[in-house]
Amino acid sequence: MRAKIIEFINALINFLINLSIVYSIIVQVNNSFLIVPPRAPACTTALVKNTESQACTVLVLPLVNKTSVVYLFSTNISPMYFTLLPNSSKLVRICFSSPPTVPPVITNYTLGIYVNGKLTKKLHFVLWFGYYYEFRAAVLVLPPAFYHDKIYVLVRLANTGTLPDQYEVEALVNGRLRWHRTVSLRPGQVTSLYTCLQPAAFHVTVTVKIRSLHSVQKYSKTFSLLKLYYPLELLRIIIEKLLRLALFRSVQPHHVLSARTGSSSAGKV
């Protein structure tokens, strides 16, 4: 019964949020902006701006089934794309069209959400390319407001050396290790790793580390959830967390709750 109530409240809040929202697609081509009319109600509005170099072409193509395909083309980084596939075992794919030919670079992108033609919030995510000691890597960190209120960490690794190598990839949230993977790659072998992390607080710092036999590379990105969401979205998240906490407490056995509070019914007569 409580689960149905929570589901109804979530549906009602989402309905109120989307009631007066008109989405559009914005494409940036070398400082020129082109607004594309929405093709479906599920369209996502996005404006991605490369803060390192204005010579950047960005296209966001949301589909009817809420599958978002994002293409990033830049003059200082080889073209790549990533896709978000909900309800799929292969949640994210990152592909390179060619190896990077430039020194390692960290590019900060700003994504603005426009609702009814008005900028409502800005999302910041980092695309990190590295070419160190005979391996190359790309790391993409998506903030919680980007997709399903989770932090997504996407890693693409390639062994460009002449010998097999082993790599350790870690993701930390506010200094605590939340995800760890170890992969061994043969020369020329490429792999993709991804994980979704639950925000631990309203102020989240995500740190990604990549270790090889020769070096350790890392970077951090901080997100403030209070700045990522507009008020109705933030209210929805707070209500969901409170309802889940209340539901969790209500289904706990009595002896478990008694043990946590330091009392026990075993000694009562």
pLDDT tens track for 119-129: 544 545 555 55
Tell me the per-residue pLDDT of 56-65, one tens digit each, with 9 for 90 and over.
333 343 333 3
pLDDT at 130: 54
Q: Within the chain, how many helices (H) and strands (E) appear?
A: 4, 16
pLDDT at 142: 67
Read off the amino acid at residue 203: H
Question: What whole-number percentage of the chain has pLDDT above 90?
Answer: 3
pLDDT at 228: 59
Read off the amino acid at residue 231: P
Q: Which of 20-34, 183-197, 250-264 has the highest mean pLDDT?
A: 183-197
User: Token pair for residue 245?
Assistant: 């906490």
| Predicted model pTM | 0.49
Contact between residue 158 and residue 94 where contact means Cβ atoms under 8 Å apart: no
Angle, CA 81 vertex, CA 78 and CA 87 arms, to 5°:
160
Dist CA 197 CA 203 (whole Å)? 14
Quote the mean pLDDT of the chain.
Answer: 57
Confidence of residue 42 (pLDDT cuts 50, 70, 90): very low
Q: What are phi and psi of 262, to 5 degrees?
A: 90, 0
Q: At CB < 8 A and 24+ separation, what contacts does 35-41 make?
A: 39/64, 40/64
Q: How much is the average pLDDT of 215-227?
A: 71
CA R_g for the chain: 22
Q: Which residue has the higher pLDDT, 132 or 27?
A: 132
Instruction: Evaluate if residue 55 carries a pLDDT over 60.
Output: no
User: Token pair for residue 165?
Assistant: 């190598």
User: Token pair for residue 57?
Assistant: 């072409």
Tell me the per-residue pLDDT of 1-41, one tens digit each, with 9 for 90 and over.
667 776 776 666 555 544 443 333 333 333 333 333 333 33
Instruction: Evaluate if residue 190 carries a pLDDT over 70.
Output: yes
Q: How much is the average pLDDT of 98-119?
A: 46
pLDDT at 196: 78
What CATH fold (topology level) applies to the domain 2-242? Immunoglobulin-like (2.60.40)
The gap from C-alpha 99 to its chain's centroid, in whole angstroms, comes to 24
Question: What whole-number percentage of the chain has pLDDT above 70?
Answer: 32
pLDDT at 93: 30
pLDDT at 232: 61
Using CA atoms in the order 197, 201, 205, 207, what is the torsion angle rounded to 10 degrees?
A: -30
Q: In sequence order, what are the residues at sequence separation of 6 or more whose Cβ sits closer than 8 angstroms to the Cβ of residue 136?
A: 99, 100, 129, 130, 157, 158, 160
Report the range of poorest mean pLDDT among 87-101, 161-175, 209-223.
87-101
Which conformational region is residue 29 in: left (phi greater than 0), alpha (psi within -120 to 50 degrees), or beta?
A: beta
Cα separations in angstroms, 41 against 36, 59, 243: 13, 18, 29
pLDDT at 184: 92
